[in-house]
Amino acid sequence: MKLVVDVMSYEDTINSILHFQTDDNTLYWRERLFQEYPNLDKYKGLYGEWNARKKYLSKQLKFLYLQVENKLSEKADIFNQYWFERKNEVTEVFSCVFQIDCANILNDMSAKISLNPICPRDIHHHFFTIFYRYGKEQFLMTAIHEMIHFVWFYI
């Protein structure tokens, strides 16, 4: 099981966040952004016409992304090292639980560090996002959670 952690691009980060801000999503999903970023104007971001909300959020999130861009890279390095330290243990547990040899499967997993407090996954491409404010343990818990989905659909 191979996992590579890197930084999600600005454009992909914004698209990932905006995906959860459309009117098709409940307030449960939409409000999470404003809980994590209280400096965002909740009224401008949650209410009103979609294009105006999208424009406001895109501008604010670009500013935020540029502020933390170096931190995103630092987190990718920290998370890659932590995965390297835990990889064998996690793989062994997965092999035991799923009763298959997991050492040589899913060698194409990718985690992208993002500003998005919601961590979506792509089952078919073995990809998920990690919120940049997570510590090492939260990163590992999220990674294991997503890997369970990947292995489940693999077998």
Question: How far is residue 84's CA from residue 97's CA, in Å, rounded to a whole number?
Answer: 21
What element of type H or E holds 120? Answer: none
Look up tokens 């089952």; give the residue: 123
In sequence order, the 6+-apart residues with CB closer than 8 A to the CB of 72 are: 7, 8, 113, 132
pLDDT at 25: 86
**Residue ranges with strand state E in 1-92:** 3-7
pLDDT at 155: 83
In sequence order, the 6+-apart residues with CB closer than 8 A to the CB of 68 are: 115, 132
Per-residue pLDDT tens over the stretch 20-76: 999 888 888 999 999 999 999 999 999 989 999 999 999 999 999 999 999 999 999
From 109, 102, 117, select the one nearest 61 (Cα to Cα): 117
49 to 23, 40, 78: CA distances (angstroms): 10, 17, 40
Question: How far is residue 5's CA from residue 128's CA, in Å, rounded to a whole number?
Answer: 10
From 106, 116, 101, select the one nearest 146 (Cα to Cα): 106
Per-residue pLDDT tens over the stretch 62-119: 999 999 999 999 999 999 999 999 999 999 999 999 999 999 999 999 999 999 999 9
Out of 59-63, 121-125, 137-141, pick the least confident: 121-125
Chain-centroid distance of CA 37 in Å reads: 16
- State the pairing for strand pair 121-122/127-131: antiparallel
Q: What is the pTM of this model?
A: 0.91
